[in-house]
Amino acid sequence: MRVATPPVTTNTNTIHWTEYGIPIRNLWHMLLYAWNELPIGSSGDLENIEDAPTLDALLASILVKLMNQRLRIGMGRNYVDEKHLLRGVRGRVNFSDSLKQHTFDRGQAYCEFQQYSTNAPKNQIVRSTLMRLIQTGQFGPVRADELRHGLRRLVRDLDGIDLIELKLDFIRRQQLGRNDKDYRLMLAICELILQRQMPSDSSGHHNLPVLDRDALVLHSIYERFVANFYRIHLPGWTITPQKHFHWHENDSNKYLPTMKPDLVLEEKSTGRIVILDTKFTAKSIIENQWGGERFDSHHLYQLYAYLKTQEHLSEQHRQASGILLYPAINQLEISEEIELQDQTLRVESIDLTASWQEIEHALLRLILQDNHG
């Protein structure tokens, strides 16, 4: 084991994310993998990205840049439902409203029609998120005025786009076209901003402190980042996130808990199987009641259950390996093998404060090392 070197930071007010010690540049790479937005290219690569003092500052800068690009080339449009009081007839006449308001007496009618408009949901989401950042964004003392000025100017430039109440399910329902790659990234950013400030109803974590909410969001990012990293960099493997495992051949007992490891990797040429569970926790080693250190037994037995219950399926399943993957952030890095009955479990960590190239190499070694001895 060795101690990970903490990143250097001069901004003592970047509480929410530097508490976890992840450099902003590395966090941005993780987000791009999690959102499946690689290669970075011109849409995602920001100059001096490491200068962003907080995650809000990073996300605000990207959102402003992407939307300003859209303003220059033309805003995305969609057919949207409109209802207006008109002297002529357009589309479908709303007789109910027209009769209630006696508009026919004045030679007018309420008409409902579709219009190809920039006042589309995707633009409403972005403008409303920009407004939320103006009101609640935490940018640190150095860039706060600059960022808020840019946000206010962009909100004014988007005049004519309705402000709406932001909801996670509404953002996730948006259907985007082939030419909306930049909008996919913008909506992913909007979703992350909303997640951090107001977790979804299903999460049950409305009253958590900001740091705890960030930890929940970071765990999801970390899990998706690892899955998409291997999907991109291991073309000779089948990568299956959240694969449903059965306890045995006839597990009809409704009271058995669901088994879904974070990631199952299967090498196409050999059939070798790796079951990987990501654990974004503050500590990979916890203290026992006598002050000694140990691995979290719940994590180990969970991984053991994944391996053991699949042994009957094939010889490859009997030979499968299991990995618990923790982040190492300002703490001991770990690479240990543990014999648990007849199974060998590996407990590994990735130093998220290292250079991105080192992180990539470490993740690849994690899976490929068994292939070469």
Q: Residue 272's CB: how many other CB atoms inside 10 A?
A: 17
101 shares its domain with 238: no
pTM: 0.75
Alpha carbon of residue 350 to chain centroid: 19
Please check the confidence at residue 17 and state whether its pLDDT lies above 50: no
Which H, E and C letters describe 49-118, residue by residue? HHHCCCHHHHHHHHHHHHHHHHHHHCCCCEEEEEEEEECCCCCEECHHHHHHCCHHHHCCEEEEEEEEEC
Query: Looking at residue 345, what is its pLDDT?
Result: 87
pLDDT band at 344 (very low <50, low <70, confident <90, very high): confident
What domain range includes position 95?
78-117
Query: Looking at residue 165, what is its pLDDT?
Result: 93
Is 7 part of a structural domain of the chain? no
Is 9 part of a structural domain of the chain? no
Question: Could you tell me what percent of the chain has a pLDDT over 70?
Answer: 74
Query: Looking at residue 216, what is its pLDDT?
Result: 73
Least confident of 154-168, 172-186, 255-269: 255-269
295 shares its domain with 327: yes
Is 143 part of a structural domain of the chain? yes
Residues 6+ apart with CB under 8 A from 320: 272, 273, 274, 275, 307, 310
| CATH number of residue 273's parent domain | 3.40.1350
Average pLDDT, the chain: 79
88 shares its domain with 61: no
pLDDT band at 352 (very low <50, low <70, confident <90, very high): confident
Please check the confidence at residue 114 and state whether its pLDDT lies above 70: yes
Is 204 part of a structural domain of the chain? yes
30 shares its domain with 137: yes
Least confident of 119-133, 152-166, 332-346: 332-346
d(CA 277, CA 261): 6
264 shares its domain with 303: yes
Domain boundary among 117, 142, 166: 117
Q: Residue 123's CB: how many other CB atoms inside 10 A?
A: 23
Please check the confidence at residue 282 and state whether its pLDDT lies above 60: no
68 shares its domain with 105: no
Q: Which of 153-157, 263-267, 279-283 has the highest mean pLDDT?
A: 153-157
One-letter amino acid identity for 94? Answer: N
Is 198 part of a structural domain of the chain? yes
pLDDT band at 198 (very low <50, low <70, confident <90, very high): low
348 shares its domain with 329: yes
Query: Looking at residue 355, what is its pLDDT?
Result: 87
pLDDT band at 162 (very low <50, low <70, confident <90, very high): very high
340 shares its domain with 203: no
Token digits of residue 54: 């907080």
Query: Looking at residue 181, what is its pLDDT?
Result: 86
- Mean pLDDT computed over 180-191: 91
Query: Looking at residue 291, what is its pLDDT?
Result: 44
Q: How many domains does the chain have?
A: 3
Is 214 part of a structural domain of the chain? no
Query: Looking at residue 148, what is its pLDDT?
Result: 92
Query: Looking at residue 94, what is its pLDDT?
Result: 94
Token digits of residue 372: 């070469």
257 shares its domain with 150: no
- Mean pLDDT computed over 210-219: 67
Domain boundary among 117, 136, 167: 117
174 shares its domain with 278: no
Helices (H), 137-180: 140-157, 168-172
Is 113 part of a structural domain of the chain? yes
Query: Looking at residue 292, what is its pLDDT?
Result: 47
**CB–CB of 110/93 below 8 Å?**
yes
Label residue 102 left, alpha or beta by phi (over 0 means left) and psi (-120 to 50 means alpha).
left
Task: Encode pLDDT of 50-106 as tens digits.
Answer: 567 788 888 898 899 899 999 999 888 888 888 889 988 998 999 999 999 999 999
Is 103 part of a structural domain of the chain? yes
pLDDT band at 157 (very low <50, low <70, confident <90, very high): very high
Query: Looking at residue 363, what is its pLDDT?
Result: 95
137 shares its domain with 171: yes
59 shares its domain with 204: yes
Domain boundary among 89, 117, 145: 117
One-letter amino acid identity for 86? Answer: L
Task: Encode pLDDT of 295-304 as tens digits.
Answer: 777 788 788 8
